[in-house]
Structure 1
Amino acid sequence: MPDVNKSAEEGSSFSSKVINSVFLLLLVDLLGFTLILPLLPSILDHYAQTGDVVYEFLQSVVGWFREAVGIPMERKYNSVLFGGLIGSLFSLLQFLLSPLTGALSDKYGRRPMLILVTLGMMSSYAVWAVSRSFSMFLLFRVIGGICKSNVTLCTAIVADLTCPKARNRGMAMIGVAFSLGFTVGPLMGAYLATSYKSTGNVFYQTPALLAFGFSTADLLFIWFMLPETLSKNAKGSSSGFRDLLNPLSLFHFSAVTRTKDPPAKEKMQKLQVLGLVYFCYLFLFSGLEFTLSFLTHQRFHFTSMQQGKMFFFTGVVMALIQGGYARRIKPGQQIRAVSMAIAVLIPAFVLIGLSWNVTMLYMGLLLYSFAAAVVIPCLSTLVSDHGSANQKGTVMGILRSLGALARAMGPVVASSVYWMAGAQTCFFLTSACFIVPLTFLRTAKRLKEE
């Protein structure tokens, strides 16, 4: 009995060390990643004056889309659309590379792949710091899109933990890192950009150098502190890499079945349904999240500062819910929690779409923040239960890839509906569409019971 207790204590201690390490690693990474968010409109305005050929081409693409869906010719809207185009490019690269990174981590280990992608992010920030043309800036975003697989690998690390409670807590803490990173990082970037005149540098150089410093700190932390969670016995398996490049195969998680120990048919069916829930949810959610900037500017004439305060509010609420409620959800209760959270999104977006004053808007944002804090951590925990020890990276990589595809497509579709049919129709229609992932969740629950 003493040996059993000692073993349990050691396992709990190791899980806590892994979760704390992943949290700090991701928080530092996301602080560097989000420094650019408040600077993007100013950066695009800066490069608009350089006459860069690539910039002019992309501007013509944005102009064509703006005219096609009837978006007014206004600087604010143009900046949002241009930023969305660059964000879609980043997401498409993530869609292509996340499954490969996850599969390679199953073969070579989590730490080596984390070191490799962190070196890639360091190089991208270095390119940003020295960029003096839009082409160089775009190269920075492309390198970042190729190498930004830290989240995939961190979720695979948490998925390696054998205790279901520890996995749930780990996924929730990843959510907390996201909320804090996307709350504090933009504030830091905005502050550093306003103090550039005293340094004599280009306004984005100091944030770029700080992002490089954050990545360097991450690299040192991985090298000296992060344990390898993939056991030696689990290494060396090879997934179907061709299936990782086929979008339809990704939805079927085909690469997971082409191994020596594929999951049972029932497990695969549930995994595929959860993948559809994840994609549908993020497709709808990211679209409304993107059009939120249109609505607040058009209806309430929000300035950039007011937009920043709005997202600061949602980030703080999400961090509190993830750190308090989400990480305490018991194993076996995740499907119920996700169903409740997605159901809450329906009145949340109806309130936002109908809002005739700021109070009503923030009531909707409060519900929105609760749902956003719960869905992704719980779905990640549910998916992490699938696959053997040598498949966790592949499974989590495919899940992240489906999310990236949803984030690339959602804003384009939602903004088209917004400007063609109006804000209320867009928010009402999309709110009603959340019934689709709720229906898939009922199927997942039935498969679980069977």
Structure 2
Amino acid sequence: MTQPAFRAGKAAIAFILVTAMLDIVAMGIVIPVLPPLIEQFSGSSARAGVVNGVFVALWALMQFVASPIIGSLSDQYGRRPVILLSTAGLAADYVLMAVAPNLWWLALGRIVAGITSASFTTVYAYMADITTPENRARGYGLVGAAFSAGFVAGPLLGGVLGEWSPRAPFWAAAAMSGIAFLYGAFILPESLAPERRMAFSWRRANPLGALRLLRSHVELTGLATVNFLLYFAHHVFSAVFVLYAGYRYGMSPWQVGLLLALAGALELVVQGVLTGHAVKRFGDRRVMVFGLFAGTVGIACMGLAPNGLGFTLALFPNALWALAMPTLQSLMTQRVSESEQGQLQGANNSVGSIAGVVSPLFFGSVYAASIGPDAPFPHPGTAFLVAALVLLASALLGAHVARRAVRRDAAAAR
């Protein structure tokens, strides 16, 4: 008998995807206006690049601390209560940032956002609960597509509202998070049956303890390193994308929002349409490696683009690295037990958060050192070129781990 693609009905899948999309819409709304607001408080684009990097690092540090705790709590108490508490916390946080009078208040807002946004680990664990292992990449692709859909609508809405008032997008984000909470409270079902739950343990829930799981298998360790490098490269966008687009190409918040919406739409197509078909034909490992190499080309083109049109066109090859994210997640879930899925997602998010602490500080400093008359690196796109080198290293390591995994699986089958 053919095993069903999903353990739960389509309704449960739709519920978690809508919840995830609403959360990302709320996050995406503030992206076009937060860096300009930081620039307004700090006084210059170069200093704003450094400060924005610090803010992203604060957010990631909170993710590093909170993600394994939240993942382990969801393994014990279920996914639904964790998601509800996090969306309510995000709503309160956006209200805080809407009234922030200075950089210190914005910094506090980013700290709270880092803690509450750690529920993304629970979203992935939820999808792991309701999908079979061989269809998990497809499920993660759907989650990625929901996130991308949120990033299509969010920046567009944020760009429009930002032209009216720099504070309006924060109020809109608070409203969207409130809607996500109400939607989840009345509609979202629980995905983790009581008999599949695991008792909470601080040994597993502390950030360093959670990382032990990633050392339990040689291939899991290699894939976690690929994950780290991917996240490190990706944070060039959160650190300098908005500032760079405004500085080099003169883009307004509305134009940047439109550009981010295009990026989200492309990733929506890649993860929602291409991933499932590509994995079915070529398998998780090959699709992951291809996505990493394609992303390397795209991000290098972004750093070399001579004008706004070239920068926009570079988003097309860059979007293909979205193929690597769900397939990498799928490969990792196949190396742990069903009761450890929440812990794995918490550990994965901790890895991404470590990269998120270091990477924005690094790319913010590179950006600051690449603009202005006395810049030691007199090319504004230097940060993107460095990110391309990091992603290339991730692609090469991913190819090596994939080849070793094929040989190991073949030997085990004999």
TM-score bin, normalised by smaller chain = 0.7 to 0.9
Secondary structure of residue in 1 paired with 2:206: helix
Residue type at the aligned position of 2:72: A
Task: Map 1:306-317 onto structure 2 (within 5 A).
Answer: 306-317=255-266
Secondary structure of residue in 1 paired with 2:198: coil
Secondary structure of residue in 2 paired with 1:391: helix
Cα distance in 1, alignment partners of residues 237 and 110 from structure 2: 24
Other-structure match for 1:54: none
Greater displacement, 300-309 / 216-225? 300-309
Other-structure match for 1:33: 27
Deviations 1:3-40 (A, max 9, x none): x68xx66x747253332112100111111222222222
Cα distance in 2, alignment partners of residues 174 and 207 from structure 1: 24
Task: Map 1:436-447 onto structure 2 (within 5 A).
Answer: 436-445=393-402, 446-447=404-405
Residue type at the aligned position of 2:112: I
Other-structure match for 1:343: 293
Cα distance in 2, alignment partners of residues 149 and 428 from structure 1: 29
Cα distance in 2, alignment partners of residues 398 and 31 from structure 1: 25
Asked if the contact 2:50–2:361 (Cα under 8 Å) also holds between the matched residues in 1, the reply is no
1:92 matched to 2:61? The reply is yes
Deviations 1:129-188 (A, max 9, x none): 555555444333322221212311100111123423542222112211222222211222
Secondary structure of residue in 2 paired with 1:434: helix
Identity of paired residues, percent? 24
Residue type at the aligned position of 2:20: L
* Structure 1 residues 234 and 14, CA gap change in structure 2 (3 angstroms): closer
Cα distance in 2, alignment partners of residues 447 and 135 from structure 1: 47
Return the match for 2:188 from 212, 223, 226: 226
* Structure 1 residues 163 and 363, CA gap change in structure 2 (3 angstroms): same
Asked if the contact 1:241–1:255 (Cα under 8 Å) also holds between the matched residues in 2, the reply is no
Length, aligned pairs only: 398
Asked if the contact 1:26–1:174 (Cα under 8 Å) also holds between the matched residues in 2, the reply is yes
Deviations 1:365-406 (A, max 9, x none): 2111222x2121221222222322221111001101211221
* Structure 1 residues 361 and 42, CA gap change in structure 2 (3 angstroms): closer
* Structure 1 residues 421 and 76, CA gap change in structure 2 (3 angstroms): closer
Residue type at the aligned position of 1:309: L
Cα distance in 1, alignment partners of residues 174 and 389 from structure 2: 43
1:245 matched to 2:207? The reply is yes
Residue type at the aligned position of 1:139: L
Return the match for 1:24 from 14, 18, 37: 18
Residue type at the aligned position of 1:120: G
Task: Map 1:170-181 onto structure 2 (within 5 A).
Answer: 170-181=139-150
Return the match for 1:406 from 355, 359, 367: 355
Residue type at the aligned position of 1:29: D
* Structure 1 residues 190 and 426, CA gap change in structure 2 (3 angstroms): closer
Other-structure match for 1:55: none
Other-structure match for 1:421: 377
1:211 matched to 2:173? The reply is yes
Residue type at the aligned position of 1:22: I
Other-structure match for 1:330: 279
Greater displacement, 148-157 / 184-193? 184-193
User: Per-residue deviation at 1:122?
Assistant: 2.9
Residue type at the aligned position of 1:112: P
User: Per-residue deviation at 1:295?
Assistant: 5.0
Cα distance in 2, alignment partners of residues 414 and 135 from structure 1: 22
Cα distance in 2, alignment partners of residues 190 and 21 from structure 1: 27
Asked if the contact 2:26–2:172 (Cα under 8 Å) also holds between the matched residues in 1, the reply is yes
User: Per-residue deviation at 1:211?
Assistant: 2.6
* Structure 1 residues 314 and 115, CA gap change in structure 2 (3 angstroms): closer
Other-structure match for 2:411: none
Residue type at the aligned position of 1:21: F
Larger radius of gyration: 1
Cα distance in 1, alignment partners of residues 147 and 50 from structure 2: 23
* Structure 1 residues 127 and 431, CA gap change in structure 2 (3 angstroms): closer
* Structure 1 residues 310 and 116, CA gap change in structure 2 (3 angstroms): closer
Asked if the contact 2:39–2:47 (Cα under 8 Å) also holds between the matched residues in 1, the reply is no
Cα distance in 2, alignment partners of residues 138 and 81 from structure 1: 13
Deviations 1:219-248 (A, max 9, x none): 2222232222212112233445367332xx
Cα distance in 2, alignment partners of residues 384 and 330 from structure 1: 15
Cα distance in 2, alignment partners of residues 225 and 100 from structure 1: 25
1:269 matched to 2:218? The reply is yes
User: Per-residue deviation at 1:97?
Assistant: 0.7
* Structure 1 residues 43 and 301, CA gap change in structure 2 (3 angstroms): closer
Q: Return the TM-score normalized by structure 2.
A: 0.84
Return the match for 1:361 from 300, 303, 311: 311
User: Per-residue deviation at 1:99?
Assistant: 1.1
Asked if the contact 2:223–2:332 (Cα under 8 Å) also holds between the matched residues in 1, the reply is yes
1:431 matched to 2:388? The reply is yes
Task: Map 1:137-152 onto structure 2 (within 5 A).
Answer: 137-152=106-121
Cα distance in 2, alignment partners of residues 210 and 299 from structure 1: 29
Q: Return the TM-score normalized by structure 1.
A: 0.78
Asked if the contact 1:256–1:387 (Cα under 8 Å) also holds between the matched residues in 2, the reply is no
Cα distance in 2, alignment partners of residues 440 and 15 from structure 1: 37
CA RMSD of aligned residues (A): 3.0
In structure 2, the gaps of 5 or more residues are 371-375, 409-414
Cα distance in 2, alignment partners of residues 88 and 221 from structure 1: 30
Residue type at the aligned position of 1:421: F
Other-structure match for 1:278: 227
Other-structure match for 1:157: 126
Cα distance in 2, alignment partners of residues 192 and 359 from structure 1: 24
Other-structure match for 1:388: 337
